Structure 1
C-alpha cells in the first residue's frame, strides 16, 4: 500500500497498534490515554530497542515501510506523518552495487608513518578503486574511491584553512555516519588539526544531558571548531556559549565549491592523530591521546592476529565516533586496502537484517558488533527473513566493547547455522581506547571458548576453580582472546604484585600503541600508568593464555568479604517479565545513617499496578539472592529512562547511583526547549563567571600595553637617532627597566660574571620560550650583542629598522651551513669583534620543552674558534603565553653559563658545542628535552 491510498482511518489504526503494544509491553499509559500527542520516550518510556519493535509492528500492521528516522520520532503524531510519507511495505533489498574484493595479493603501505601517508599511498597506487560502499537510509549505495576520499578531505581542509585553523587546533566532528564524516576526519588532519569525534544528539528528551557532557569534553579538548550538520546549528551554538575556546561552528554545505587544498599538513608519527573520549565521560573527561604511530601499530597488529587477506571485505554499521567503528572497521580497512561496506547505526537498529544481508550480498568476511547486536538479530530476524541468507563467507564475527554472553554466542551460532554460519567464526575480543582499540584476539579459526568456574569460590577467594558446566554453582566466563603480537598483559593484586593463572586481579598491559596519557589531564594520566604498565580499569584472570574478564574495577561491590560483580545479576533480572532487559544496574551505596555499604539494584519497569509491582519486586529479590548468594539491601523499580546509558548503550552505573542518592530516579526529563534554555543560561553564567575571574588579568594586560604604546614611539625615535651602538643599547635597556618597574615584571640575572670573563667576540645561544625573550636578554646583558634573526622581520619597516640599528643580523634560515653567503656574513661579524646571539630552536611553542637545536650557531662558533655561552631563560612563557598577547606580572630568570670552547673547527666540534649548550639550558630552564634530532 502506498502513501497516496492509505485508508482515512490511518491515525486510528496507528493508535490501536500503539495501545496494543503498550498493553503487551506493560507500558505506563498516560492518565489522559494514548493519543497523537503522546511522547514516545517521556510518556511511554520507549528506548531504541522498544521503538525498533514498535516500528516493526506498525509497518506490518499498516503495510508501509517507514524511514529509519522513525526511530527518532518524538510523538505518535510524528509517526503518523512518516506513515503518510511512506512507501510500499514490501521488504526491500540493498541496492545492487558491485565492489572489488581486493587485489590478488595484499598490498599495504608498509612504509607509511601517518594516516595521511596511508591515504596518499592508496590514492597514488589505486585511486580509482572503491574504498567504501556507503548505504544511506534509503538503502542506496554510494561508492567512495580512494581518490574521492582524498579529494573530499582536501575540500574540507580548505574550508578549515579559510576559517583560520592553526596547526594543532582540535576540531570536533559531530556528524552521522556518511561521506561527510569520512571527508571531515581526513580533512582536519590535512589542515593540520586534530579530530575529536563526538556523537550527535539522539533523542530530544536527553538534550540537556547530551550538551552538558559534550561541553565538558570540548572544553577539556580546547576545541577551536565544530563540524556538524545544518540541522544541529542551534544545538552547536548553545555548546559554543559553554565552551570558551570554540571559535566557529562549520557545516559542509556547498563543500563541492571549495577549491581543494593541495598543501596538506605533514605531521610526524608521534603527533596526535585524534582524541578518543570515552562515551561515558562526565565530570572528569578523559581524552585518550592517540598518535599516528599508535594507530598504525595497533592496526598492523590486529591485521596479523586475524591473518588479513586480499579477498577480505569488512561490513560495519558501528558508529564512527567509537573506536571499534572508527579504527577497527574504517581505518583498519583503509590501511589494508580491503573494501568497507558501511551503513549507519540507525539503519541497523531499524532493520537488523540489513547487517546480515550486506554480509551475504558483498561476501563479507569480517564484521564486528557489541553483544547486544547479536541479541537483536536473534529477536528481530525471523525464519522467513533468513531465507536466502548465505553467511558461509563470514570468517570472523568479532564480539566486543561490552560483556560477552556465552548464551548469546551459543544461540547465535545455532540460530544462523542454517544460513551457513560456522561456529568457529564467532570471535570474542577485548580492547580499550588506551591501547587504540584492540588488545586481545582469539587464534584464527578457533571458535568461542567458555570457562566454567565455581561461583562461590570465585566470590570468596578470587580464584577461578574450573568445574563441570552442569554444576548448579558454575559461572560461565567467556575467553576474550590472547594479547596481540607485540603486546603483553598481566594480572596483579592491589600492591602491584603479579598473580599466577586463575587468580583474579587488576588487568594491566604493555604494547606499541599504549597511549601516552589523557589529554590535558595529568592527574588521570598518573593513575593510568604504573611502573611502566597501563591500567585497563578491568578485573580479570588469565587461563590457557586467554584473558577472562570478571568486571570493571569501579563496578566491583565488596560485601561481607565477597567480591560481587553486577553483570550476572543485571542480566538475570533483565530476563524477568515486567523488567526492561538491559535496563538494570547494581551498585554499592553508602548508608548515610550507618556508614556501611548497601547493595542496591535499580531496575526499570513499566508496571504501574501496585499489587503486580510488589510481586515483581519480590521475584526480583529472590532471583538476585540466588545469583549473588546474598540478598540485596534494596531493589528499586524505577520508571523508564531512570537508568542512564552512554551513547554506545553501556550502563552508566556511577551516574545512576548519583541519581539514586540524590533522590532523582523518579523525576522525568523536562521538555527539550527547557533543557536547551537551562544549558544556555548555565553557559552564559559560566562565561560571566570566567569574565569576572579574568577581569584583573584583562585590566592589567591593557594597562601594560597602554604603557608600551606610550613609551615605544619616543624610545624608537631616540634609539634610531643615537649615534653609537653602545648608547642605543644603554638607552633601550633604560626604557625596558622603566617599563618593567611600572608593570611589575622583574628580570633576575645570574652568571653575568661568565660573560664578563669571556673573550670578545663570542657566540651566545638561548632557549626560546615566548615573545619577551629578546627583551629579557637585553636587560640581562650589559654590553651590546648582535641578535641573529629571521629576515622576515624586515617586512615591517619600523621593526626592521630599529633591529638593524641595534646591530641585528638578518638571515633566511638559522641553519647557516646551507648558505655560504650567510655563513660568511656571520664570520665577518665575529672577525669585527661582534658577539652574536642565537635562538637555536628557531621558534617557540606554547607547550613546555626544548625543541631541536639547529646547527648554525655552533658551526659559526667552531669555524671562528670562539666560545659559546649558553643562556637559560625561565618564566617568559608564563609572563606572556605563546597563544596570546596578554602579559602577566611576575619574575623572569636569566642564567648565563660558563663559556664552552670548541675543540676544533670541524662538524663534530660543532655538534659537541650544541650538546653541551643544550644540556646546560635544559638543566636551568626547567624544560625537558623533546628531541636531539637537528
Structure 2
C-alpha cells in the first residue's frame, strides 16, 4: 500500500464527516477556514493532475507556503502525482532563510517552486536576484487554473517510492535532504497512532511549522491517517499569543497535541491569570513533548500553572525522534505520564547511568513502539548493556532511504553495523542509555564538552545557567582550545534581556552564572559571554546551534553585551569585543 491509497481510503470512508480547520486569531476572535477530507482529496487530485500535465513525475518541487490549508493540499497533490515534495520555510526577508532556500534549490535539483499568490512576487524577485530565474519557475497554486479532480489518474506508486524530502535543520551540520518513502510514512504514522491509543476518532490541535518533521508527520498527516479532526494555527500566531493554543484545546475539546519543550515553557511563562481562568484543558489526554531536551522544570511548571484548568501530569508524553527516522522513534504511551528519575552526575560524566536520590534529573523519552533501539559504543561498535551511555542506533521500517545525493554521508549514518555484524542501523549521533526499557537521551556526540577527562553535556550547563536570573534566555555551551598552557576552556554564550536586569548589572549576572556553574559542575575556570537576544544561533526549528555560535564568537560577530573571561583565556581564544571585560577587572 502507498500513503496515497491510505489517504484516498480515508477520504472515501469519512467524506465530509472529518475535516482540517485552520484557525486565525483576529483580535481575540477565532476565524476558521475548513476543508473536509473529501474536499482535500478533490483539491489534491486537481493539483496532482496539473503536476502530471507538466511532466513532473519523480522530479522535485520546493514548497514555500505560509501556514494554512493550501500547503497541505499541494503536498498531497505532489504525493498523488509522484512528485518529490520538498517542504521548506517561506524565506521572506530573513537572510539565513533565503540562503537555506537557495541551497536546497541547488542541492535538490529544484526546477519548480510552488507557493501562494501573496508570496509569488517576492519569491520571483528573489530568484531573479540570485540568478535562478532562468532555471527555476515560481507558480502560485491558489490562483492557478487547475484541471478538475476527475482528470487525475493514479500513477504507479510502490511502498518504496520516494514520497518527499525532509531537509534537516542543521543543528550540527549543513542541511541534508532526507529521502522518505511511502512505506516510511505509513509506518511512522502507525507508530504515532499506536502511541496515542489507536483511537477510532479524535480531535488534535496544533500550530507547529508544516515544513518540519514534527509539524508535518505528527500534526498535519496523522489526522487523515487515523481518521480524526485537526484544528491548527500558525507558529507566528502562537508566539504572538501563546494562550491561543490552549484556547483551541479548550474550545475544540482536543484529546492530543504535539510541541517541543520550549512551547510549553512559553505558555507557562506568558499566559495570564485571566486567560487561565477561561480554560478547560480536561479533554487533553496526550501532550507529546519532543524535538529538543525535555526539561523537568517545564513539566512541573505546566502542571502548576494549568492544573486548576484541567491539565493533568498524566497527559505528558515525552518522545524521541528525528527526520532520518521519519519522526517518532520512542514515545510515552497515552495515560502513562512522564518518567523522571535522578542519576549520579559524576557517573554520567563517565558515561554511566547510576540512579541516585540526590542526583540530576532526567526525563525518559518513552519506549520503542516497534522500532529496534540499541545503545552502541561508537568506537568499538559494541552493544552496551542497560545503564551505559553511548550512541543511539535505530532499525525499523520508519528509517529513511538515506540522504539525497550524499552517498558517503548515507553510508556513515544509515549503514551502521555492530561489532558482531548486526545491522544495518541508523546511527543517530545522539547519546543516551536504556534503563528498564526506557530511553534517556543525554545529548549530541558532537556537542559533548570534554574537560580534564570529564564528559559534560552542554544542555545541562545551559539549563543551570538560565535559572540564575529571570533576564536570561537561550544559551549555547561549548569548549574551545585556549592554547597549550591554558588547555581547554568551557564557554557559555548566554542571551540576556537588558531591560529585565532590574537592579543587577550585566557583569553581576555573568559572575553569578560563573559561580553557579562552578558550584554545580565544579568548573572554576570558565567564561560567560552575555549577548543580545537572538545572539545564540538556532535552527529554523529552534534547536541550539552550538558550533555556529562558537564560530560567530571566534569571528567577532556576536552582539556582545558583557563578557567575563576566565583567568588565562587569551584574546586569541575569545577575541576582544565591545563591552568585554576580563574576569577580575
TM-score bucket of the superposed structures, by smaller chain: 0.7 to 0.9
Residues 153 and 594 of structure 1: CA distance in aligned 2, closer, same or farther (over 3 Å): farther
Q: Equivalents in 1 of 2:486, 2:48: separation in Å?
A: 57
TM-score, structure 2 normalization: 0.88
Residues 357 and 209 of structure 1: CA distance in aligned 2, closer, same or farther (over 3 Å): same
2:537 aligned residue (628, 635, 644): 644
Checking the alignment, whether the CA contact within 8 Å between 2:429 and 2:445 is kept in structure 1 is yes
Residues 488 and 565 of structure 1: CA distance in aligned 2, closer, same or farther (over 3 Å): closer
Q: Equivalents in 1 of 2:56, 2:62: separation in Å?
A: 14
SS state of the match for residue 171, structure 1? strand
Q: Does 1:477 align with 2:362?
A: yes
Which aligned pairs between 1:480-499 and structure 2 lie closer than 5 A?
A: 480-499=365-384
2:279 aligned residue (389, 392, 408): 389
SS state of the match for residue 279, structure 2? coil
Q: How many residues align?
A: 546
Residues 566 and 230 of structure 1: CA distance in aligned 2, closer, same or farther (over 3 Å): same
Structure having the larger proportion of residues in helix:
1
Which aligned pairs between 1:310-709 and structure 2 lie closer than 5 A?
A: 310-459=200-349, 461-468=350-357, 471=358, 474-528=359-413, 529-531=415-417, 532-577=424-469, 579-582=471-474, 584-591=475-482, 596-607=487-498, 612-666=505-559
Look up the match of 1:132.
20
Q: Deviations over 1:86-119 (max 9, x none)?
A: xxxxxxxxxxxxxxxxxxxxxxxxxxx1121122
Look up the match of 2:570.
none
Q: Deviations over 1:394-434 (max 9, x none)?
A: 11111111100111112212322212222111111111111
Residues 604 and 388 of structure 1: CA distance in aligned 2, closer, same or farther (over 3 Å): closer
Look up the match of 2:35.
144
Shift of 1:236: 4.8
Shift of 1:245: 9.1
Look up the match of 2:578.
none
Look up the match of 2:576.
none
Residues 168 and 455 of structure 1: CA distance in aligned 2, closer, same or farther (over 3 Å): same
Q: Which runs of 4+ in 1 moved over 4 A?
A: 242-246, 592-596, 608-611
Bigger Rg over Cα: 1
SS state of the match for residue 569, structure 1? helix
SS state of the match for residue 430, structure 1? strand
Residues 606 and 297 of structure 1: CA distance in aligned 2, closer, same or farther (over 3 Å): closer
Which aligned pairs between 1:749-760 and structure 2 lie closer than 5 A?
A: none
Checking the alignment, whether the CA contact within 8 Å between 1:316 and 1:341 is kept in structure 2 is yes
What is the root-mean-square deviation of aligned Cα atoms in Å? 2.4
Checking the alignment, whether the CA contact within 8 Å between 1:236 and 1:249 is kept in structure 2 is yes
Q: Does 1:307 align with 2:197?
A: yes
Shift of 1:611: 9.2
Q: Does 1:238 align with 2:131?
A: no
Residues 129 and 648 of structure 1: CA distance in aligned 2, closer, same or farther (over 3 Å): same
SS state of the match for residue 505, structure 2? helix
Q: Deviations over 1:645-680 (max 9, x none)?
A: 111211111111111121211399xxxxxxxxxxxx
Q: Deviations over 1:561-604 (max 9, x none)?
A: 0001111221222233374312x111122336769433111112
Checking the alignment, whether the CA contact within 8 Å between 2:465 and 2:517 is kept in structure 1 is yes
Look up the match of 1:153.
44
User: What stretches of structure 1 of length at least 5 have no aligned partner?
Assistant: 1-112, 669-934
1:284 aligned residue (174, 185, 192): 174
Q: Equivalents in 2 of 1:244, 1:489: separation in Å?
A: 47
2:99 aligned residue (206, 212, 219): 212
Shift of 1:549: 0.9
Which aligned pairs between 1:107-126 and structure 2 lie closer than 5 A?
A: 113-126=1-14
User: What stretches of structure 2 of length at least 5 have no aligned partner?
Assistant: 418-423, 562-585
Shift of 1:270: 0.4
Checking the alignment, whether the CA contact within 8 Å between 1:130 and 1:145 is kept in structure 2 is yes
Q: Equivalents in 2 of 1:652, 1:641: separation in Å?
A: 12
Checking the alignment, whether the CA contact within 8 Å between 2:201 and 2:227 is kept in structure 1 is no
SS state of the match for residue 163, structure 2? strand
SS state of the match for residue 542, structure 2? coil
Q: Does 1:180 align with 2:70?
A: yes
Which aligned pairs between 1:809-888 and structure 2 lie closer than 5 A?
A: none
Shift of 1:640: 2.8
Residues 613 and 393 of structure 1: CA distance in aligned 2, closer, same or farther (over 3 Å): closer
Q: Does 1:251 align with 2:137?
A: no
Q: Deviations over 1:257-309 (max 9, x none)?
A: 65444224332210111101112278733111110001101111222233221
SS state of the match for residue 429, structure 1? strand
SS state of the match for residue 402, structure 2? coil
Q: Equivalents in 2 of 1:578, 1:128: separation in Å?
A: 49
Structure having the larger proportion of residues in strand:
2
Q: Equivalents in 1 of 2:124, 2:401: separation in Å?
A: 30
Which aligned pairs between 1:45-56 and structure 2 lie closer than 5 A?
A: none
Larger RCO, structures 1/2 (Cα 8 Å, 6+ apart): 2
Residues 455 and 114 of structure 1: CA distance in aligned 2, closer, same or farther (over 3 Å): same
Look up the match of 1:275.
165
Q: Deviations over 1:710-739 (max 9, x none)?
A: xxxxxxxxxxxxxxxxxxxxxxxxxxxxxx
